[in-house]
Amino acid sequence: MDNTGFTARLLNVCLRGATLVSKFLLVFMLAKYLQPSALGIYGLLVVTIAYSIYPLGFEFYTFSSRELVRTDLKDRAQKLKNQISMHAVLYVFVMPILMSLFYFEFLPWRLAPFFLLLVVLEHLNQEAMRLLIALQYQLVSSIALFLRQGLWALVLVLLMLFYPESRKLDYLLVAWVIGGLLALCLSAYVLLKVSYVKGRLLSRTDWSWVLKGMKIALPLFAASLSVNFIITVDRYWFSFLQGEANLGAYVFYMSIASAMITFMDAGIFSFLYPKLLACHSNKDDIGFLSGLKAMFFQVAVVSVLFVAIVFFFADWFFSLLGEPVYSENIGVFYILVFMVLLQVFSYIPHYGLYARGEDRGIVVSNIMSVPLFIVSVLLLAQYDTLYAIPIALCIVYGFVLIYKTCAYHLSSEPAKAIV
């Protein structure tokens, strides 16, 4: 299952596509059968869980992925054991802090058990998926992702369609937990099998290796906290400016727009960035440039197709939902689509910098994006509270694209061209 040839890539894209379709159908059903305010609460829960993963993971994979690529098989299990130990310590400190979200009533207390369980499952699954991709087991990671995000969503869609009593948020959260558990079992089994773990998981943790990795990951951790702070606080801020009903529309728009990122991650980035790592490790500048060019042109083609679909079908699609709030605010959706285009193109210089270990450009641009976002929203909200958030996001990702591109071209490596 670690074959990265054409057949594996096709299966990978099909699985990711099926996951996307399942998620899309789920969000559509939620928008159709739940009140927009309930969809807004779901959106807040999703982004808060996603953000909570970062302090638990510390972006340690940015160090461990590079290490595993160049580690002998006999030493791989020890490094996995080291990483597991580090995450265990972080759990002790981070999980109590997360409870403050409910104490200060950012989220309702009745969701606390689901929230904590899903944070753990999503974090462990995310770390496992990153390791599988770094080890070029993309197909296994796609199967796990389908279990984690696609299969349970599809089952729930069918239940909601035929059993009206299942049209509740609690049913969704239970299904999400089951999907996360299935995905984690599969990923853990494969990672243990390919890492020669016999007698290794009981060995002593190499804390010097962990501390070395944390020092390297710290700047990227700060950068990720910054950039993901934006796509978490935007929902809360939008709710404050526009109310829970319009927040539901915003969450729905963002779910559709960000689907393009998920698709590109499956069909483009997850295949090409490990090859960039390998080319840089082997000092293969020609292969490195070829990989970046392929990344650019594939992103461009998918972007054109996505924009064409949005242009021709968006109005008709939102009218199917029956809730005026989705059609009335469609201008917000178009702006978010443009924002996502800026974001996916910024990933090209991002992966170029990351593969070469030149993380400074990534860190600086992400950290600077937070004050830029806050100032942009404060200024724009004085003129229009509906469009302040989406326009501010466009400003931020436009800045990130320009900064990372300049950082890549000004870097010390000999390979430069992206297109």
The pLDDT of residue 417: 52
Q: What's the confidence (pLDDT) of residue 113?
A: 93
pLDDT of residue 2: 46
Query: DSSP states of 251-290 as a string?
Result: HHHHHHHTHHHHHHIIIIIHHHHHHHHHHHHTT-HHHHHH
Q: What is the mean pLDDT of residues 116-145?
A: 89
Torsion region of 107: left, alpha or beta (phi above 0 gives left; psi -120 to 50 gives alpha)? beta
CA distance 87 to 185: 18
Residues in Cβ contact with 329 at an 8 Å cutoff, skipping those fewer than 6 apart: 246, 249, 250, 253, 386
Mean pLDDT, the chain, whole residue set = 87
Mean pLDDT of 107-123: 93
Residue 416: pLDDT over 70: no
The answer for residues whose C-beta is within 8 angstroms of residue 375's C-beta and 6 or more apart is: none
Closest CA to 297 of 318, 268, 256: 268
Helices (H), 71-206: 73-98, 100-103, 112-134, 138-145, 152-162, 169-193
Of 10-24, 189-203, 275-289, 371-385, highest mean pLDDT:
371-385
In this prediction, what percent of the chain has a pLDDT beyond 90? 45
The mean per-residue pLDDT over the stretch 211-231 comes to 88
Q: What single letter denotes the amino acid at residue 266?
A: A
- 30-39, 74-83, 86-95, 392-401: least confident range: 74-83
What count of other Cβ atoms lies within 10 Å of the Cβ of residue 158?
12
Residue 311: both structure tokens together: 């242009």
Q: How far apart are CA 25 and CA 31, in angstroms?
A: 10
Question: With 80 as the cut, is the pLDDT of residue 94 above it?
Answer: yes
Instruction: Flag whether pLDDT at 69 surpasses 60.
Output: yes
Average pLDDT, integer, range 132-138: 80
Residue 332 confidence (pLDDT) above 90: yes
Q: CB neighbours (10 Å) of residue 100?
A: 9
Q: What distance separates the 2 farthest-apart alpha carbons in the chain?
A: 64
pLDDT at position 201 is 55
Q: Is the pLDDT of residue 325 over 70?
A: yes
The answer to whether the beta carbons of residues 234 and 80 sit under 8 Å apart is: no
Domain boundaries, the chain: 6-409
Instruction: Specify the higher pLDDT residue, 376 or 259.
Output: 376
- Residues sharing a CB contact under 8 Å with residue 83, sequence separation 6 or more, in sequence order: 60, 64, 127, 210, 213
pLDDT tier at 195 (50, 70, 90 boundaries)? low
Angle between helices 6-33 and 152-162 (to 10 degrees): 30
